[in-house]
Amino acid sequence: MIEWVNELRTDLGQEFGNTPRVVTLATVDLTGWPHARTVVCRRLDDDGTIYVASDARSQKNVQTRLRGSSEFCFWLPTLRKQYRLQADIVAVGASVPDGALDVENETERVRREVWESMSFSARALFFWPSPGDERTLSDADFPKAVDVKSPPDAFEVLLAAPRMVESLDLRTHPHTRVRWNVEDQWGGRELNP
C-alpha cells in the first residue's frame, strides 16, 4: 500500500472514529477566484482516490468540470496534523464524462455504492431545490429524509486522484513535513516545516 494512504487512513480513523471524515475542498472558478468548502470524504481507495458525494447543480461541480483540478485539506486537531492533497478531479454523474472511467457500468457502480452508503437524511439533500438559488418559501421543499434506492440525476460523485500529498505534524519540534509525488512513484521526502 502507498505510505501516505496508509498513514492518512490510520490518522482519519483515530481522529474521526465512526463520524464523517470532514475535509476542505478548494476549487477555482473561471475568473481565477478560489472557493473552499467543507465536504465529507466518503471513501479513500488504496490508490489514494477520494470520493465525495456532491450535487451536480452546485458551483463546486461546475468548477470541477471547468478546471479538473482541486486541493483537499484535512485538519486533524486532536492529532495536530494536516494533510494537503493536490488532485485531478472529475464529476461522475448520471451522464458519463468523456474519459472519466473506462466503462459506463463502472460509473453507475461507483455512484450506487456511494449512494447506498449514505443515510436517508444525506440522500434527501439531492431532492432539495438547486443549491445557491434564491431560498424557496416552503419548508416542504426540503425533505428531511428519503428512502430512494436509485440516485437522482442531481447526485454526482467527485473522484479525486491525488498527484501530490503533504503531511505536516505539529506534535514534534521542529514540526515534521513530508511530501509525496505521483511522479516519484509516491516516494516521500522530508521538507523543512
Residue 137: the pLDDT is 85
Kindly report the pTM of this predicted structure: 0.91
> pLDDT tens digit string along 153-189?
999 999 999 999 999 999 999 999 999 999 999 999 9
CA distance 41 to 56: 17
Share of the chain above pLDDT 90, in %: 89
Domain spanning 3-100+155-191: CATH 2.30.110.10: yes
Q: Name residue, grid cell 460523485.
A: 157
Below-70 pLDDT ranges, the chain:
95-104
- Residues 140/144/150/154 CA torsion (nearest 10 deg): 60
CA distance 134 to 160: 30
Look over the chain and give the mean of its residue pLDDT values, rounded to a whole number. 93
Q: Name residue, grid cell 477566484.
A: 33
Distances in Å between the alpha carbon of 192 and those of 70, 87, 102, 122, 171? 24, 23, 40, 41, 15
Residues in CB range of 127: below 8 A, 6 or more apart: 143, 146, 148, 152, 154
Residues, the chain: 193
Domain limits of the chain? 3-100+155-191
> pLDDT tens digit string along 139-158?
999 999 999 999 999 999 99
DSSP 95-156: SPPTTTSS-HHHHHHHHHHHHHHS-HHHHHGGGSSPTTSPPPS-GGGS-S----SSPPTTEE
